[in-house]
Structure 1
Amino acid sequence: MKRSAAFAIPGDINTVTGGYIYERRLLEELRHLGHDVTHIALGASFPDPTPEDMADAIAQLTALDPSRALILDGLVYGAIDPKGLAQVKAPIVAMIHHPLALETGLDPATRARLFATEKANLAMAERVLVPSRHTAAILRGKYAVPGDKITIAQPGTDVSGGTPAPVDPPLILSVGLQHPRKGHDVLITALAEVRDLPWRAAIVGSIHDTPHAEALARLVTDLDLSDRVTLMGRVSQDVLDSLYATASIFALATRYEGYGMVFDEALSWGLPIISCATGAVPDTVPKGAGLLVTPERAGEFAGALGRLMTDVPLRKRMARAALKAGAALPTWRDTAAVAGGVLDQLDG
């Protein structure tokens, strides 16, 4: 008998970010594997909940039948009142993509508050699901979570349905929220340093932080890149597939990633990757398929861009390595099988 569960996720489950895509696909595939999993929709204000959303979350979670396991999204897990979480009778599985206290741009007081909340709540989890070895190591080292409670459920990847058809001049593709952590400002600055080379660039991703998105648009204009860099915002899957198919390089100057599902997408399309040696990126991007530079260093990033654009044999070797690595990635069914095994091992 497969363990039944409830998956509590804040806001719109169809939000297009790596974390939401992961949880929506995990929910779907757990059901396909025969687990009875209900979806509990919590308030969209997490991880900075309104009093109303906090009260509603605690009410829904404490009302859960204890025969069901509770999988609780990290945006809620790291912010919900520990006293409220302690009232939950169902066995708890924390879903931590990366700790909230490690988010870019937090003031010291907020970082300290989130760390204390996350640490207290993690002590109540029977099991913890994470996407990467990096996140697992952080939880063991900084949050004192026992290693035997942690299971790595690597994100799955959908096999691309198209054939790569790179365009000329080369298209540099970046995919990620318009959020400071994604480093699009560093990428744009780096692109300005290689303006003498032929290329165009597309940056795809929903606006998460409006002031930051406006700053990115100004930066493109100020650096006189408006005819070569397009800030596309959110696009349909068909448009995104077309961009992956026609790109020559995938570039994301991220400041931190707990995993980075877009790297797997790039690998599945056979794209060489340029990114930063931060968080889980070195574990996610195979050495032969990517060039990783120091975070925040636009000059280094520009150097890597220039190298890949001018050394065509290197770019082709890295593309072959990327395609090979992409073909070996787990499916979403594989991810759900790992998570389902965790559910089945819970007591009660």
Structure 2
Amino acid sequence: MRLVLAVPGDLSAPTGGYAYARELLAHLPAQGVAATHLALPGGFPDPSPDDLARTAALLADVPRDSALLIDGLAYGALPPEVIRAAGRPVSALVHHPLGYETGLAPERAEALVVGERAALALADRIVATSRYTARLLGAEFGVAPERIAVAEPGTAPAARVMPRPGPPVRLLTVGAVTPRKGTDILVRALAELTDLDWSLTVAGSLDRAPDCSAALRAGLAAQSLTDRITLAGAVTPETLDRLYAAADLAVSASLFEGYGMALAEALARGLPLVATTGGAAAETVPAGAGLAVPPGDAPALAAALRTLISDPTLRAAAAAASWAAGQHLPDWPDTAAAVAAALRTP
């Protein structure tokens, strides 16, 4: 089987969606799928007319003997006429709906939902990256369940991080600084815990939402937290491994997750977690592996953090549950096998 995976922008970008695409390209050949990457314009999900014209031309040139799978960052923003102009069955890879991104103006969010609903109606097959997203596409976007396959992101096995009693307690949050990731909410929560001995590293791009990053820096300065919270920016995989190994507690204040790859990476290492229940995160993090709080609730997040920072015995118990759960996560060959099976399904 031949497959063209169409992804907008820079395939090397350090985000979960791009990592998913890179891993598919690496692991699909072992599943009997000769996969190649097609680079689409980087303007998605807000393509210009020129972006759409270039995309239409690129899709029309895909060899007829190849299946075509388009990453949802582009697919959800494609007008129906561009999809039809491909002149072939087109499948979509959906991490989470575009209109569910935090910080969008209401009218823009609604336009994205309407547009993605129309685009998904034309998809031959839809690969969702979590069971939660699959249900959401059925309930809110009218996609018939039999047209959806689930292929959760893989999580590579990792060395266990053994619990340390502390203090200090080293916190780690992984993800680009954007409104959806809720890093500002995490900072507000930690501002209530200055009586405890902790530090936080934020590992994630500071360039995706520059205004959000600037506001975060200003908030750190205003609350005198710059000496306790490090904004590491985008980091290499090797550096991220070192940050995980040095952490005592993983934290996610995200308002919505289509899956939560950083959460799974923490589980694979046996790190206890404090995480919100936004989107699929409630299902990615199992009971016992830490504490869950509602998204957007800084006081609840502060209370959960205080509990685990203050109690090394509870952290150790959560770490054991996290490690046990992490041993059952799919790896990337499993993800590639699920995608290959979905694309072969009539």
TM-score range, shorter chain: over 0.9
Rounded Cα–Cα distance in structure 1 between residues aligned with 2:239 and 2:345: 41
Q: Return the match for 2:126 from 107, 125, 128.
A: 128
1:254: which partner in 2? 254
Question: For residues 1-348 of structure 1, what are the structure 2 equivalents within 5 Å?
Answer: 3-161=1-159, 163-164=161-162, 166=164, 168-207=167-206, 208-346=208-346
Maintained 8 Å contact 2:276/2:295: yes
- 1:60 and 1:238 map into 2 onto residues whose CA distance is 35
Residues 83 and 90, structure 2, Cα contact 8 Å, conserved in 1: no
Name the amino acid aligned to 2:229: V
Q: Which amino acid aligns with 2:250?
A: F
Residues 18-55 of structure 1 show CA distances to partners (whole Å, capped at 9, x for unaligned) of 11101110121112322111210001111111222111
Contact 1:6 1:38 in 2 (8 A): yes
**Bigger mean CA deviation after superposition, 228-237 or 30-39:** 30-39
Residue 337 (structure 1) shift:
0.4
TM-fit CA distance, 1:332: 0.2
1:82-127 Cα deviation digits (max 9, x unpaired): 1111122232111010010111111122122211211111111111
Q: Distance in 2 between matches of 1:342 and 1:118?
A: 21
Post-superposition shift, 1:264?
Answer: 0.6
Structure 1 residue 176: Cα displacement = 0.7
Q: What displacement does 1:163 show?
A: 5.0
On the 8 A contact 2:276/2:293 being kept in 1, the answer is: yes
Q: Partners of 1:345 and 1:281 in 2: how far apart?
A: 28
Paired residue secondary structure (2:202): strand
Does structure 1 retain, via aligned residues, the 8 Å contact 2:160–2:270?
Answer: no
Q: Match of 2:85, as an amino acid?
A: Q
Instruction: Provide the C-alpha distance between the structure 1 equivalents of 2:276 and 2:296, rounded to a whole number of angstroms.
Output: 8
Q: TM-score, normalised by structure 2?
A: 0.96
Instruction: Give the TM-score normalised by the residue count of structure 1.
Output: 0.96
Asked if the contact 1:202–1:230 (Cα under 8 Å) also holds between the matched residues in 2, the reply is yes
Gaps of 5+ in 1: none
Query: Aligned letter for 2:334?
Result: D
Report the RMSD for the aligned CA atoms in angstroms. 1.3
Please state how far the C-alpha of 1:270 moved relative to its aligned partner: 0.8
Secondary structure of the structure 2 residue equivalent to 1:287? coil
Aligned-pair CA distance for 1:168: 4.3
Aligned mates of 2:76, 2:55 — CA distance in 1: 13
1:343 and 1:255 map into 2 onto residues whose CA distance is: 31
Contact kept in structure 1, 2:160 and 2:323, CA below 8 Å: no
One-letter amino acid of the counterpart of residue 85, structure 1: I
* 1:290 shift after superposition: 2.2
Count of residue correspondences: 344
| Separation (CA, whole Å) in 2 of partners of 1:259 and 1:319 | 21
Residue range with higher mean Cα deviation, 87-96 or 9-18:
87-96
In the alignment, the residues of structure 2 paired with residue 162 and residue 78 of structure 1 have an alpha-carbon distance, to the nearest angstrom, of 38
Amino acid at match of 1:59: A
Question: For residues 78 and 47 of structure 1, what CA distance do their matches in structure 2 show?
Answer: 8
In structure 1, give the amino acid aligned to 2:261: M
Cα distance change of structure 1 residues 163 and 110 upon mapping to structure 2, 3 Å threshold: closer
